[in-house]
């Protein structure tokens, strides 16, 4: 089970940190990813991190603004979002990836079998 939290309504330019706590899975064996879905749009990849936390991958529009990290001792992954923009407005979902991709995390949602319920981030201009 994955529980995402930390969303909210913020103004453009500020920072926000999302967290995703995992239970019932061997967290440290799985890559973790964040995806988002904006109103009226499809789900898109945001960022992913490998099992050990030493490899991350980002979608182009968030690279340099967002930072993904994990604490395997706490079964939690963190998405630090800086310099938020109105186009970052979306429901953000965390997901646990297939262990097949534990070293090199995938950007494809189909490779993430377990999903959290999502947390809404709204960025006003």
pLDDT in tens, 39-91: 999 999 999 999 999 999 999 999 999 999 999 999 999 999 999 999 999 99
User: Rounded CA gap, 39 and 77, in Å?
Assistant: 25
CA-closest candidate to residue 49, choices 64, 70, 65, 29: 70
Classify residue 44 by its DSSP letter. Answer: E
Beta bridge partners of 79: 18, 68
Residue 61 is encoded by which pair of tokens? Answer: 């529009």
User: Rounded CA gap, 8 and 111, in Å?
Assistant: 28
Task: Check residue 44 and give its pLDDT.
Answer: 97
pLDDT above 90 for 25: no
């Amino acid at each position: 089970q994955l529980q995402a939290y930390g969303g909210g309504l913020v103004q453009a330019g500020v920072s926000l940190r999302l967290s995703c706590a995992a239970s019932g899975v061997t967290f440290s064996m799985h890559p973790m990813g964040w995806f988002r879905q904006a109103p009226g749009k499809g789900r898109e990849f945001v960022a992913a991190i490998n099992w050990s936390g030493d490899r991350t991958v980002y979608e182009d529009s968030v690279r340099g603004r967002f930072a993904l990290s994990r604490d395997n001792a706490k079964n939690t992954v963190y998405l630090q979002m800086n310099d938020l923009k109105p186009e970052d407005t979306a429901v953000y979902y965390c997901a646990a990836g297939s262990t097949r991709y534990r070293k090199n995390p995938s950007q494809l949602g189909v490779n993430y079998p377990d999903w959290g319920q999502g947390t809404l981030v709204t960025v006003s201009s």
